[in-house]
Amino acid sequence: MSDSLLGPPTPKCRKLLDACRKFKYVLASGPRFSTKTISCLLALCDHAYMTRNANIVIITVSQSAGLESGVWNDLIDTVVPAFGLEIVKKPYIHPVSKKPAFEVRNKFGQNVKVQLDSLKDEREVEKRYKSKRYSMIYISELSNFRFRLTFDILCECLRMIGVPDNEHLFLADTNPSDEGDQSWIYFLWYILLASETFDEKLRAIRSGLALVEFVIADNVFASEARIEELKSRYAHDPDLYARYILGEWVTATEDALFARVFKPNIHVIGDIASPTNQDPEIMIPEHGCFELISGWDMGVVNSAFTILEKWKPADENGSPVISFKVLDEQVVIGEDFEMAYFVEKALEKMQSWEDFLGVPVLWRHWSDRSALDFKEPVANKYHHELVYELSNGRVQLEGATRTREMLRARIDLIRKLLFQDRLWISGQCRATINMLKTIKKGRGQFSLIQTTSRHKHCFDSLSYPVSMELFDEIQNAVIRRMRPNSNNARVISVGL
């Protein structure tokens, strides 16, 4: 790809191109003005050039949406010339189908047709596409399509004769859906892709999924004034701002576990670094701090690490009350990674805070009991032993109690701390903030928390250290919950 009006591809664009060459079902998710659509169009050109016998369709909710939204014109006027593709048949309207199309030449000397199609009524998807064959399908704004069946039927069209199965591509870009984490899109590219356990019947499609998340900071061509204008446009609505500016998959927050107690304008301190805010205000430990705590939730493809400060500000009566600052986090969701990599990144964050404080720091590290009870099968060592070795003895995990009643108590404790303004989160801890905004009760009658949520690991890494540092409070809550509703009944103490 040569230099052009677009300039060299951005790092995030390169990541998307790489995903499109390796995986079959690729989603570019992110807020507006984050270059996800331009990156997808570059990936389309890459497929056209690199694939023998390619045949490509762009699908939008209506033909006018494809034309007027700029996707079609951007592709023809800017992206194709920037990529260096030769147009061998200029844009035309097919005399029978009345669909816009044009043709380019690929590296094999073949003509590749790129066509714009529309699907206004999803109920017609099977009738209209069942017999079609494409090597690539690109959908701009996938969230416009509400039904999983639309995706399933369209993917059956990826069967172009002469194209190997592993070279077919379904590519889509989208803003987060207004259905949030209840969307079928979220289920596929967030829940299923991140799940360590799943229905084996879904393995084949899961292995083909790839997610590339864009943020406004990925748009290196955007001016600060343009970004601020975009932010101002959605500042009146927290949910729209979350979806269209922050790129978060949130719905109206009434059914979130912490909706009534988490107030971002109060509990979130500072901001996150970006090209337009390279020196953000961040929350820092109290003066004289020499002790920090952390929470670990280690998994195979999902892991979370949280750094907190436990401190005692005075309440309205002047009495000290235990509170917490969430200072930093390291979260990996839905990606294969080595434990050594995760521990290394956690150590880097620990070191950065020690350097900031300028004094030796006393650390306490809390983890799920499973890190102490279960062995890693290849190394035949307990997870806490591996973390200890990989950190050269700097991290010695202590086990947090994990029972059904303890989970309920941890949820109640986080609610209580937020309600009493005893839990504060740094603006750079985006995963923690998203978790507090969106994580929900499980769907089953006895499911306390949405275990399939990508935010569950972040909740655990936060609540393990908080619950153990406030063990007396949480123990009393468990005992009260287990006490029978009778004045004469015997109090039952639950061993923790």
Query: What domain range is 468 assigned to?
Result: 253-480
Q: Which of 59-73, 355-369, 379-393 has the highest mean pLDDT?
A: 355-369
Q: Round to whole Å and give the CA distance between 155 and 209.
A: 12
Residue 223 domain-assigned (yes or no):
no
Residues 312 and 179 in one domain: no
Cα torsion through 454, 459, 465, 469, rounded to 10? -170
Residue-wise pLDDT tens digits, 444-466: 555 677 666 678 889 999 999 99
Residues 210 and 265 in one domain: no
Residues 143 and 45 in one domain: yes
Residues 178 and 296 in one domain: no
Q: Is the pLDDT of residue 489 over 50?
A: no
Residues 323 and 182 in one domain: no
Q: Is the pLDDT of residue 482 over 60?
A: no
Residues 129 and 263 in one domain: no
Q: Name 58's Cβ contacts closer than 8 Å, sequence gap at least 6.
A: 44, 66, 71, 72, 75, 114, 115, 116, 117, 138, 139, 140
Residue 469 domain-assigned (yes or no):
yes
Of 467 and 197, more confident: 467
Of 266 and 363, more confident: 363
pLDDT band at residue 350, thresholds of 50, 70 and 90? very high
Residue-wise pLDDT tens digits, 269-284: 987 655 445 567 789 9
Q: Is the pLDDT of residue 295 over 90?
A: yes
Q: What CATH code is carried by the domain that includes residue 16? A: 3.40.50.300
Average model confidence (pLDDT) across the chain: 84
Q: Do the Cβ atoms of 140 and 171 come closer than 8 Å? A: no
pLDDT at 381: 83
Residue 193 domain-assigned (yes or no):
yes
Q: Of 167, 199, 218, which residue constitutes the final position of a domain?
A: 218
pLDDT at 214: 92
Residue 279 domain-assigned (yes or no):
yes
Residue 52 domain-assigned (yes or no):
yes
Residues 436 and 357 in one domain: yes
Residues 199 and 75 in one domain: yes
Mean pLDDT computed over 194-213: 90
Q: How many domains does the chain have?
A: 2
- DSSP conformational letter for 440: B
Give the position of tokens 């975009």. 230
Residue 237 domain-assigned (yes or no):
no
Q: What CATH code is carried by the domain that includes residue 456? A: 3.30.420.280
pLDDT at 255: 64
Q: Round to whole Å and give the CA distance between 101 and 56.
A: 10
Residue 225 domain-assigned (yes or no):
no
In the chain, the amino acid numbered 288 is: G
Tokens of residue 360, six digits: 């030796």
DSSP states along 208-237: TEEEEE--GGG-TT--HHHHHHHHHHHTT-
Q: Do the Cβ atoms of 92 and 102 come closer than 8 Å? A: yes
Residues 209 and 264 in one domain: no
pLDDT at 488: 38
Residues 209 and 303 in one domain: no
Q: Of 173, 201, 218, which residue constitutes the final position of a domain?
A: 218
Q: If we measure between CA atoms, which residue out of 425, 407, 423 comes closest to residue 415?
A: 423
Residues 193 and 260 in one domain: no
Residue-wise pLDDT tens digits, 392-429: 999 999 988 777 778 888 998 999 999 999 999 998 89
Residue 490 domain-assigned (yes or no):
no
Residues 176 and 277 in one domain: no
Orientation of helix 456-469 relative to helix 430-438, angle to 10°: 100
pLDDT band at residue 443, thresholds of 50, 70 and 90? low
pLDDT band at residue 251, thresholds of 50, 70 and 90? low
Residues above pLDDT 70, as percent of the chain: 86
Which H helix or E strand runs over 262? none
